[in-house]
Amino acid sequence: MMEKPLLEIQNLHVEFKSGKEVVRPIRGIDLKVNRRETVGIVGESGCGKSVTSLTVMGLLPEKTGRIADGSILFDGTELTALPEKAYRKIRGNDISMIFQEPMTSLNPVFTIGEQLSEPLRQHRKMGKKEIRETIISTLKQVGLPRAEQIIDEYPHQLSGGMRQRVMISLALLCQPKLMIADEPTTALDVTIQAQILELLKAIRGSNDMSLMLITHDLGVVAEMCDRVIVMYAGEIVEEAGVEAIFDRPLHPYTQGLMQSLPSNNERKGKLFSIKGQVPKPSEIGKGCAFANRCPHAFDRCFAEAPPVFSEAGHQSKCWLLDPVSKEGSRDESSIPIRS
């Protein structure tokens, strides 16, 4: 048997109260992150990627958001019922997070050193000198030049890429077991993006940690991840190893995502796009959430939510994979494969 996964989420449901309505951005997801593994979570805006990461961090808005059901097991600890005080010992220490916007993720009135000392003072008993040395060595680890000077500079003196490196070092300081990166490269320009990804990859290898990479960029996923989870409208619609996903995407939504990628070496007249939008959580009926946009949808898709079909570790929630419906109305293209 394999060793137990570092993070195991089971049947997670999250609810947001907005006025009198209750919105369910996460509707029953199961996922696990193994030790030393990079898991990518992909999906359009509004599919619940970020809410998933905030839930793991225990950062749901206190008054409006709550975990309605399910469990989050991290390294043997159940997180869903954890009191705030115990959660604080995990945040920044065992699990840390990198945010999307490096320009606003640092407090403008403090020097880099003052901000980076925060997690160390919170979680480690260290003297001033020791803190400073740790920060400088971490800044060097993330590839910042002249770390000894940057530690005394203010955020506005650094470029976007440098700030994101600082944010990564902030997440690294306590050597977490799991790092969640929520679109870490979206706000950066392309050349910097590649550098930051390389850095994350290198760090994951050297620090013996797991990485949960949230992104909408399939290129990033192909480059970085061991396993990929595709989310749509608060559900996981497909999960597979990175090669399996790119070679043979099973879910029509994943296929759509792949086709939407602009190709490097051909000049198409028109880019492919999946018609329609992610349905609002209130608009989801009893059938498959993707049915209204799916090119292959048939009667059953609108009537019944598909279960998870699994073959050799490749899981997908789509009726097309059901051997029964395969023989039915849509036999001509049973499992559509991207050509």
Partner 1 sequence: MTIEIPEQPGSSRPAVTPGKQSKLAFLWSSLLHSWTGMTGFIIILLLLFLSLFGQWIAPFDPMHAEFSKKLLPPMTDGHLLGTDQLGRDILSRMIAGARISVIIGVMTVLIAGTFGTVVGIVSGYFRGWLDVVLMRIVDVQLSFPFILLVLVINAIIGTGLKNIILSLAIGGWVIFARVVRSEVLALREKEFITASVATGVPRIQILFKHILPNLFTPIIILSSLQIATYIIAEASVSFLGFGVQPPNPAWGNMLSEGKDYIFSSWWLITFPGVAIMITALGVNFFGDWLRDTLDPELKGE
Q: Which residues bind partner 1 (CB under 8 A)?
A: 57, 59, 63, 88-93, 96-97, 99-101, 103-111, 115, 118-119, 122-123, 146, 149, 152-154, 156-157, 167, 170-171
Q: How far is the CB of 114 from partner 1 (least distance, A)?
A: 9
Write down the residue that tokens 């029964």 correspond to. Answer: 324
Of 58 and 306, CB closest to partner 1 = 58
Q: How far is the CB of 57 from partner 1 (least distance, A)?
A: 6
Q: Which residues contact 149 (CB under 8 A, 6 or more apart)?
A: none
Q: How far is the CB of 24 from partner 1 (least distance, A)?
A: 22
d(CA 180, CA 168): 10
Q: What is the DSSP letter of 40?
A: E
d(CA 14, CA 234): 9
Helix 160-172, helix 128-141: angle, nearest 10? 120
Q: Give the distance from CA 93 to its chain's centroid.
A: 19
Q: How far is the CB of 296 from partner 1 (least distance, A)?
A: 40
Q: How far is the CB of 186 from partner 1 (least distance, A)?
A: 13
Of 152 and 304, CB closest to partner 1 = 152
Give the CA diameter of the chain: 71
Of 121 and 338, CB closest to partner 1 = 121
Burial category of 36 from C-beta neighbours within 10 Å (exposed 0-12, middle 13-18, buried 19 and up): middle
Q: How far is the CB of 312 from partner 1 (least distance, A)?
A: 37
Amino acid at 263: S
Q: What is the DSSP letter of 63?
A: T
Of 143 and 279, CB closest to partner 1 = 143
Write down the residue that tokens 């977490």 correspond to. Answer: 176
Of 11 and 107, CB closest to partner 1 = 107
The CA-based dihedral angle spanning residues 89, 95, 101, 107, taken in that order and rounded to the nearest 10 degrees: 20
Q: How far is the CB of 279 from partner 1 (least distance, A)?
A: 27
Of 105 and 316, CB closest to partner 1 = 105
Of 63 and 267, CB closest to partner 1 = 63
Q: Give the distance from CA 123 to its chain's centroid.
A: 25
The upper half-sphere exposure of residue 166, i.e. CA atoms within 13 Å in the direction of its Cβ, equals: 30
Contact 63, 146 (CB under 8 A): no
